[in-house]
Structure formats: C-alpha cells, structure tokens
Amino acid sequence: MLGTDIELMDGEEMILASNPHWFYFWKQVAAAAVILGLLLILWAIDEGTLGDVIGWVTLIAFIVLLVDTIFEFVQWKTNRFAITNERVAYQSGILRRRGVSIPLNRINNVNFEQSFIARLLNNGIVTIESAGETGDSVFENIPDPERVRGLIFAQVEADEQADSDRDAAALAKAMQQHMPATGPGGGTEKSPQERLAALDELKTQGLVNDDEYAAKRQQILDEI
C-alpha cells in the first residue's frame, strides 16, 4: 500500500521510520515562485497580445506544476528510510520498487554531510560504509542526519552486545555439555584434569576463543 512502513521480520523492532525531508520539494517551490512572478507581471501590464501570451504561459506552467507536484508527492510518500534493531533499510518507487537493506553487523562507519543551508533546514546526506560488494550507501534528504547517525551507532553497539550475549550463552551450553559438573548426590563430578582436557577439546573445535579459554582454565585451576 502507498506510503506504508518497511515490513519488519519476526522479532524485528522499528527504531526510526521517516520520509525524505520537505526540502525534497524545492524544485516545485521554485517553480511556484516563478508562476507567481508571471501572475504579477500579467497583473501589471496592459491587456493585449503580450498579456494573452503571458496568461497562456502561466496557465500551462501551473498545470504542469500541479501534475509534477502530485507525482513528486506520491514519490515522496513511497520513499521510506528506516532504522530497526537489526538493519538500516530504504525503499522507493511506485510501480517499480527499489530497496536497500544493510544488516547492522556489516556497518563499518556512518557519516553525515550538511551544507550551510541544510544545517538551517536540519536536512542532510547520510553515508553508510559497510562490508560487502555494495560499498558505500548514500541517502539524501534525511531529516536530522546527526541524530540518525547517532541512532545507527547505538543500534550497532546494541547488536554487538546481543551477539556477545548469544555467544556467551552458546559457550555456557557447550561447556555444560562437554564438562558436566554435578553437585553432591548428583553423580560423579569430573576431576579438574578431565575438565581441563574437555576445555582443550572445546578450544580445538573452535568453540572458545583464546580469552575465554584462558579465563575458564584459570577458573578450573583456582578450584584445585
């Protein structure tokens, strides 16, 4: 449907969704100013051939501007920029749709650019540097680009923390499976030597990194 938000995947949360800044219509505003100028000229000059010509030109220009403004408004409504807890997304187009989706874990850097006028209007360009073949993604007419940059960085950091938590949970589960240590009355507890051997096996399989291996090994040694 026209102007709908970007569809979310299961478990995905919308952080920010917006259409382009209203500066998107600067050409239509400039054209309207020209038409207004023609109307003033038509009002000021005497009636005659010149007045008729200016009148027809003004009428045609108004019709063209009206059609163009309607078309651009529909385009504006279908252009959507969004930040979620999993990605940065952009979609545009009416009949032919175009979309870009950048996972947070592939974003390397985010920059924004504002000219003097853009700063006054709180409008700008956001550039996202990401890993992959697409390279940089440039998004124009973004409202409040500095805030958008901060939101993206915040979500990237939150995504990294979530990945770290998932890795820690997976590590704890793997270690529990390979090194079960039952309490009193719950069976035979593995000796420290067996637990160290199991830890070595986890490291060999790539289930733990060097820091995790060192920390867990020291924990087992402290229990001896």
Phi, psi of 151 (to 5 degrees): -65, -40
Task: Report CA-CA distances (Å) from 195 to 125, 129, 200.
Answer: 55, 44, 9
Q: Which domains does the chain have, with CATH numbers?
A: 14-153 (2.30.29.30), 179-223 (no CATH)
59 and 52 Cβ atoms separated by less than 8 Å:
no
| Rounded CA separation 100/26 (Å) | 25
Q: What is the pLDDT of residue 1?
A: 43
The segments of the chain whose pLDDT lies below 70 read: 1-5, 46-50, 132-134, 167-190, 207, 224
pLDDT in tens, 90-143: 988 777 778 888 999 889 899 999 999 889 999 999 999 987 666 788 999 999
CA distances from 26 to 139, 142, 146, 156, 194 (A): 17, 14, 22, 33, 73
Q: What are phi and psi of 180, to 5 degrees?
A: -65, 130
What average pLDDT is seen over the chain? 80
Tokens coding 126:
């956001």
Place of tokens 């007419």: 141
Q: How many CA atoms lie within 13 A of 133 on its CB side?
A: 0
